[in-house]
Structure 1
């Protein structure tokens, strides 16, 4: 059985090194006084002890990143709205999350840099789904495929 999901990972390209937790915290320290004055960032909150506190919205080349910041320390739970209408909600840069595609498909499970990586389920907008292990956005190993009628089959994605 051949299965093509036609996933365009280039559409969710972003400077992931920037979103690594320790880099983001240092970046927030450097922009705390300027966060409300520049077009690249918005703070829906206050500056407390020279550090952002509240919801931070960063406007980046690849999209918009939103997260909560507690006294300058960013939460790992983030929402990313990509310029290509993809939406990611989850733990950044790696962890559990949901990636919603503009065509109605969605992936729920383990991710790395907003790509399926680990156990997860890819839901097709017609009601079917593919469940299994993913590696860097690709199916990896034995996958369970269930169509809209509930018919189940297995494919080996290593072939």
Structure 2
């Protein structure tokens, strides 16, 4: 199965949210970037769209972030040897403390509670990227991979509570 198929299978069930951002006006440029993706299917977003609206990934509401994450993953997996701002941003988000109690609300709202398939797709994506990037980036990939494992464990723990 190709990386795109893994990602689409894992993230394909998300429904496009009505709420793209979760802040009141006045809006920043990043929030306007996020709003530019409204009414768009994540599968139809291009690298050029992300380059024009690079701030969107950090301004999305948690539901919009989850919905559009598949786009970032698929597009970066197509050309893993080329730097891609949204993928770098997601990797930076996943480069976290190994202690969940230190995770920010922003981070937890976006990454906690994924399905096993979604966490597996994220892990496969990180492994793919780590094969094509610099050694410095590999350290971040290693920490991101570890964070995904912790997210899986923490999500299971919270589900049992």
Would you call these one fold, judging by a TM-score over 0.5? no
Higher relative strand content? 1
TM normalised by structure 1 equals 0.27
TM-score for the superposition, normalised by structure 2? 0.27
Q: Larger relative contact order (C-alpha < 8 A, sep ≥ 6)? A: 2
